[in-house]
Chain A
């Protein structure tokens, strides 16, 4: 059972993302806003498996998250695909502290990109409407999301990266561990 769970850990954690996204735990939020959960999974996955896998799973995550939200006019796919490509080009840092700090910074910037892409879609749709009533809450959304994503990323990404690596290490005779 333990071996089965370990082998399927990446898939199980992938399935859990929309569940956490729907769960929306308020005690983890700030100003009613949550961290951008998919990036916590996408960063370690893309770092290990590369940009192509990053694109594919960015698309998969986008599709699944779009399906559980009601806004049919806006999509999260472009931001997640871009992050998948970018994260795939990043290599782990040898220094423990710098590495953790980097996860926070990268995820915060990724969240900013995803938030901005979503915001531009809203602006584009409301372009004909002269009073941009959605601008101030949207900026607040982006900033709070960036802050929270950057705050939690070092904790979550480092653990997921370690778990994914240990599985790949076992699969390929530990050559990916070092």
Chain B
């Protein structure tokens, strides 16, 4: 009888350590499933004293000027071309949410930024994020206090774009470096270095005509498609404040 009792106390389920490990394991599984929302909220509080100030650097001011000029040009063209349906696509500035960048991973494998506005501020998954210069990316996950943005440079990012000079749609695919690839599914597309790229009017994911970048180099045409490297106007490694566009497309 005593022997049985001794053996039974040695079972794994009688050990406190096992239950502690299982407890931690299930907590981490929960964290994984919730995409680290608890952790990100914790980070939100401890990083508060280090949030960026109100003032932007001079580099960013140049980008804003470029962005404004290009935007005005595009809006003029849009006004003529899409006068009738433009009012449906317009969104007021009240829909925009200003947010500070509290964590950024712009190098390495993971290209993302974390913002200090989350679901409590009305940020939703899929919202467009723009910074001085133009488009930065889209909100990929939100926690109560924070939101994570997948940058255009991330290898998992794919957005529809518009080459303004040639009036053609293309696909902007992140390549893991600072210059995403523009893929145009037409071998004869006459794209040139310096051509301006904006978000596509046909895109169902992004509002149209948000400045994105300028074509930096063009690669040799391959089979039925043409590929080019794009220099982004918005610089995620330098931007401290962004706008989250909450408009419905």
> Could you list which residues of chain A lie within 8 angstroms of chain B, going by C-beta atoms?
18-19, 22-24, 26, 29, 31-34, 56, 59-60, 63-64, 66-71, 73-74, 115, 118, 122, 126, 130-131, 133-134, 136-138, 140-141, 145
Contact = CB atoms under 8 A, between A and B. Distances in A.
Contact of A133 (B46, B47, B112, B175): B175
Nearest to A75: B32
Given A56-B21, A64-B36, A70 B155 contact: no
Contacts of B237: 26, 32
A141 B109 contact: yes
A144 B198 CA distance: 33
A68 B175 contact: no
B24 interface: yes
Interface stretch (B2-10, B64-72, B98-106): B98-106
B222 interface: yes
23 contacts: A19-B46, A22-B43, A26-B237, A32-B108, A34-B107, A59-B25, A60-B24, A60-B25, A63-B29, A64-B28, A68-B39, A69-B105, A71-B110, A73-B156, A115-B109, A126-B155, A130-B222, A134-B155, A134-B175, A136-B177, A138-B176, A140-B177, A141-B176
Contacts of A71: 109-110, 154-156
B110 A69 contact: yes
Interface of B: 21, 24-25, 28-29, 31-32, 34-36, 39-40, 43, 46-47, 103-110, 112, 114, 140-141, 148, 150, 154-156, 173, 175-177, 181, 222, 227, 237
Nearest to B43: A22
Contacts of A32: 106-108, 237
A70 B139 CA distance: 10
Contact of B31 (A64, A130, A131): A64
Contacts of A33: 107-108
Nearest to A114: B109
Nearest to B157: A70
Contacts of B110: 69-71
